[in-house]
Amino acid sequence: RALTPDAIFQFHPGGGGINFAKQYGGSGLSAQIPMVVPVFSMDERMLAAVGDVAKGTNVVTLWNPQSDNPANQAFVKAFTEKYKRAPTVYAAQTYDTARLIGAALKTSQGNLKDQPAFRAAMKNVQFDSIRGDFSFAQNQHPVIDWYLLQVQAGADGKLVEVPIRTLATRHVDSYAAQCSI
């Protein structure tokens, strides 16, 4: 408190993050010093556990659950209807990964014995990603957008992560250029 930083960044996934966020908010610091967390420290499940003291928390994420991308809208709707809760980033990544592998299998005619063909299919796969246009950098890491969301009360009073802005578009990780593959 005495240092009065512009913001605090914390990364504690799971119970540690829940406890930290509760203590931070309960101490009154969240009203004075904004907290910034990666999505793994404040996903939808953790948000429910933290409660109202999470209001105002800034969340950096690789997936925007409120994106107007049709594949994303269909995923969020189907997931919410089936499980009666909002999907987490883990559910989103799993769904996207299954669709990516399925498209690569279709492209390579499902022949996993021809590993070079399957790798080529994975590298150049075309599918309806919930994150929009999907591609890999030359080091085989996804090229992705990054978003800033903020925890706010929704129209129904429940806490939701509201998109504030896109932080990076089609971001390629820092090490991609060092890969010769």
What is the full DSSP assignment across 75-86?
Answer: HHHHHHHHHSSP
CB 56 within 8 A of CB 29: no
**Residue among 140, 101, 106 at smallest CA distance from 123:** 140
Q: Looking at the 3D structure of the chain, how many domains does it have?
A: 1
- 42 domain residue, yes or no: yes
Q: Judge whether 16 lies within some domain.
A: yes
Is residue 181 situated within a structural domain?
no
Q: Is residue 1 part of a domain?
A: no
Contact 136, 121 (CB under 8 A): no
Mean pLDDT of 147-167: 94
- What is the average pLDDT value for the chain, to the nearest integer? 92
- For residue 159, the cross-strand partners are 153
The CATH number that applies at residue 78 is 3.40.50
Domain that holds residue 79: 8-176
Tens of pLDDT, residues 71-118: 999 999 999 999 999 899 999 999 999 999 999 999 888 878 888 888
Q: What is the pLDDT of residues 44-69, one digit of tens each?
A: 888 889 999 999 999 999 999 999 99
- Please indicate, yes or no, if residue 2 is contained in any of the structural domains: no
* Domain presence at residue 3: no
